[in-house]
Chain A
Amino acid sequence: MAIRVNLDVMLAKRHMSVNELAERVGITAANVSVLKNGRAKAIRFTTLDGICQALDCQPGDVLEWAER
């Protein structure tokens, strides 16, 4: 994927577990794993909003564009 999800970095910075993030954002832990492992094909703005709120960060902190 050209768009990388750096969720694991932010989770480590905030000392937050996948399950805790899932609970705060209101999505399943399985879906957080999908995002974290870069297997997601698309993300809802509401999910992104929830993640930014839970991790107190900007979308740019979790999303990154990279050359293939």
Chain B
Amino acid sequence: MRDNDTHSFDMSGFDMTGTAVKQSEQTSSGDVSHSHPLLISTIKGLIVLLGFVSLVCQVWGLPSLAAEIAVEDPPHAYLRYPYLAVSIALIVCFEIVLVAMWQLLTMVARGVVFSARARRLVNIVIWAAIVAEVLFAGLWIHGLMVSAGPPLLAVVLLIALIVVLCFILLMVVMRTLLSAATAQRDELEAVV
């Protein structure tokens, strides 16, 4: 799309579709210099940390927790593997969001975040959050029906449901802002 070709112009130095070629001192360098490299590296560091923690939870933490609970609560031991599978799927959603965030941050650092690719990444984040919301809702409703786990679990799940819902709605608003900014950016790119 548009963002892709304006990019290749930087390489070729020439523009074949009538869009103005980027100028270093005017539009394009503005956001690169405002991209806060330290801030972005800090967030990326935190993403690595969170990714590591979630991997540990997936591979070791949750399976051993499920085994422990199955032993403590034999009537609900049959839920060990279904609940474990749903929990691992939830963490997969979280990891997808982390990867998409990482790519978006890379784009912010390069000053190319106002593009169709960024919108696709935000869509991935939103869909991963929607899947997580559905899984949380399933766990919550099923947990209430069979009254599995401590009462606190139902409360925690309800809070998670609300938080993820807020996140989804916030991301949808952010996506409209991104689209508006991308449209304006594309229009400004055409100015010589």
Could you list which residues of chain A lie within 8 angstroms of chain B, going by C-beta atoms?
A: 26-31, 33-35, 39-44, 47
Contacts and interface: CB of A to CB of B under 8 A. Distances in A.
Contacts of A30: 9, 13-15, 21
Nearest to A29: B13
Interface string B28-63: 000000000000000000000000000000000000
B171 interface: no
Given A27-B23, A28-B23, A34 B191 contact: no
Contacts, number: 46
A50 B13 CA distance: 21
B183 to A, nearest CB: 14
11 contacts: A27-B192, A28-B13, A30-B15, A30-B21, A39-B17, A40-B190, A41-B190, A42-B20, A42-B190, A42-B192, A44-B192
Contacts of B20: 31, 34, 40-42
Contacts of A47: 192
A31 B190 CA distance: 10
B14 A33 contact: yes
A20 to B, nearest CB: 17
Nearest to A1: B18
Nearest to A43: B192
Given A31-B15, A41-B190, A42-B190, 20 more contacts: A26-B25, A27-B192, A28-B21, A29-B13, A30-B13, A31-B23, A33-B15, A34-B15, A34-B18, A34-B20, A34-B192, A35-B192, A39-B18, A40-B190, A40-B192, A41-B18, A41-B191, A42-B20, A42-B191, A44-B191
A54 to B, nearest CB: 14
A38 to B, nearest CB: 9
Interface residues of B, number: 14
A51 to B, nearest CB: 10
Contacts of B190: 40-42
Contacts of A43: 191-192
A42 B191 CA distance: 5
A7 B23 CA distance: 20
Most chain B CB within a 10 A radius of its CB, from A33, A35, A41: A41
B103 interface: no
B123 interface: no
Contacts of B23: 27-28, 31
